Amino acid sequence: MILAYLDVLRHCLEEPDRTRKSGLYEELARLTVAPIGPLWEVGTTMVALGPGWPGGAKMETTAAGMIEDAIAFWQALIEEKHVS
């Protein structure tokens, strides 16, 4: 199993064709989660960046500060990791 995983990883890293690389990446993901179960079906989960739902403010009015807020959030996570 480990050799198959490393072989797929090596091929994925070396593959110049995006379509084939995507297929290898999917296979790598499948092998990665195999011990705990299958990959989730498309549409099972999602991440939506934007104002809260339902009834959130319109994107145009909140976009200006959202990028700065997101950067500050991730920066705080990184700083916490290095301090611990």
pLDDT (tens digit per residue) in 49-62:
655 555 555 555 55
Render pLDDT for 21-52 as a digit per residue (tens, 0 to 9): 999 999 999 999 999 998 888 777 666 665 55
Residue 12, classified by CB atoms within 10 Å of its CB into exposed (0-12), middle (13-18) or buried (19+), is middle
pLDDT score of 54: 53
Rounded to 5 degrees, φ, ψ at 50 are 160, -175
Report d(CA 47, CA 62) in Å as an integer.
18
pTM over 0.85, yes/no: no
Domain boundaries, the chain: 2-33, 47-84
Per-residue pLDDT band at 20 (split at 50, 70, 90): very high
Report d(CA 69, CA 56) in Å as an integer.
16
